[in-house]
Amino acid sequence: MRRLLNVIAASAVMLSPVVVPLSAYGQTGQTAYPVKNIRVIVPSPTGGPSDIVARLLGDKLSQSLGKQVVVDNRVGASQIIGSHIVAKADPDGYTLLQAAANMSINPVTLPDMPFDAVKDFAAVSMTHITPYVFAVSAQSPVKTLPELIKFIKANPGKITYGATGTGSPHQLATLLMVQGAGGLPGMTEVQYKGSTPAHPDLIANRITFMIDPLAAASPHIRGGLLRALAVSTPQRNPSFPDVPAAAEVLPGYDFASWGGVFAPAGTPRAVVQKLNAEIGTALASPDIRKRFADMGLVTKHSTPEEFGKFLQSEIARWRALLKK
């Protein structure tokens, strides 16, 4: 943990935010905002759902706000490094976080985090729901989810699956699969720093399978490099209507990740409300909705209050699951 904190401290120094006096916001707290470019920290690698969403929304917000929205990928430590930068940034609306479900999982699996996921952030808005997909290489002999389960049972000790760390959505989705199947023989988890770094091994059939965000895997599925066995939500995804829902094979299976924007705690309410409104307008635009749908994402706007309550409910959900 000491080594992790040293890395986090170094990352925070590199950011060196510029302080803007609160008086610059004017009497209403929003007349002058923004007066400079906005940085959106993405704590995951380029090419993943959070990165894609941040860049699509960043382009829209750059146009509507009149200032450049710059995406900055700060990867590492189960998304803690990037999140910590935002938690400790000046609460002036110029450093934001495009967060994912790790925000609700890490407090359960990593009790020694250097920040409080609830108290150190101001919820701005949800941006999307991320369905996951059971994926194998197009070279794999496995064609369906029942075949995957049968294949795992027939090859104990030989099965590998991709994940992005202990307590990651990938790992939890796999745990739910094991529970739904009534238990499966030991599998070896291969950890990666994100979906994108895992894809070469998955495509080449060097790992058996991965339950991956549909948004990240969809280009390879459409390109014929990966085979989709099932989606993780209870209903089929409209962008991939021929891919069955996992619940059709594993009754009750239901898993999805999510994404949303946070600011540091203490960010002026007027700034949070302005950002929330601009994000809502961007999410409602036909081109954004189409781009999200093409990736298998579901747009989701919320009030700051709704998003804050959702985060707390998700933390409680994972805490209850992992105590079983």
Question: What's residue 228's pLDDT?
Answer: 98
Which has the higher per-residue pLDDT, 252 or 19? 252
Quick one: pLDDT at residue 31? 56
> With 0-12 CB in 10 A as exposed, 13-18 as middle and 19+ as buried, what is 121?
buried
pLDDT digits (tens, 9 = 90+) for 291-301: 998 887 899 99
The closest of 321, 315, 319, 316 to 99, measured between CA atoms, is 315
Homologous superfamily assigned to 2-130+256-322: Bordetella uptake gene, domain 1 (3.40.190.150)
With beta carbons less than 8 A apart as the criterion, state whether 124 and 261 touch: yes
Confidence of residue 137 (pLDDT cuts 50, 70, 90): very high
pTM above 0.95, yes or no: no
Band of pLDDT at residue 169, cut at 50, 70 and 90: confident
Strands 160-163, 188-191: pairing is parallel
Q: Which of 78, 82, 274, 311 is nearest to 172 (CA)?
A: 78
Please state, rounded to an integer, the average pLDDT across all residues of the chain: 90
- The tokens of 6 are what? 């040293």
- Tens-place pLDDT, residues 6-23: 544 444 444 444 344 444
How far apart are the C-alpha atoms of 90 and 81, rounded to whole Å? 16
| pLDDT greater than 70 at residue 24 | no
Secondary structure (H, E, C), 33-76 = CCCCCEEEEECCCCCCHHHHHHHHHHHHHHHHHCCCEEEEECCC
* pLDDT given at position 155: 96
Q: How large a percentage of the chain has pLDDT more than 70?
A: 90
Domain 131-248, classified CATH 2.102.10.10, yes or no: no
- Give the pLDDT score at 2: 46
At residue 11, the pLDDT reads: 46
Report pLDDT digits (tens) over 79-108: 999 999 999 999 999 999 999 999 999 999
Whole-number pLDDT of residue 21: 43
Residue 146 has pLDDT above 70, yes or no: yes
Check residue 312 and give its pLDDT.
98
- Are 2-130+256-322 and 131-248 the same fold in CATH? yes
User: Mean per-residue pLDDT for 131-153?
Assistant: 97
- pLDDT value of residue 29: 42
34 Cβ contact list (under 8 Å, min separation 6): 65, 66, 67, 93, 94
- Give the residue-averaged pLDDT of 272-288: 98
**Domain edges within the chain:** 2-130+256-322, 131-248
The answer to whether residues 270 and 276 touch, using CB atoms and an 8 Å cutoff, is: no
The Cα–Cα gap between 121 and 108 comes to: 17
Instruction: Please indicate whether residue 22 or residue 137 has the higher confidence score (pLDDT).
Output: 137
Q: Give the pLDDT of residue 243.
A: 97
Can you give the pLDDT at residue 45? 87
Mean pLDDT (whole number) for 197-213 = 97
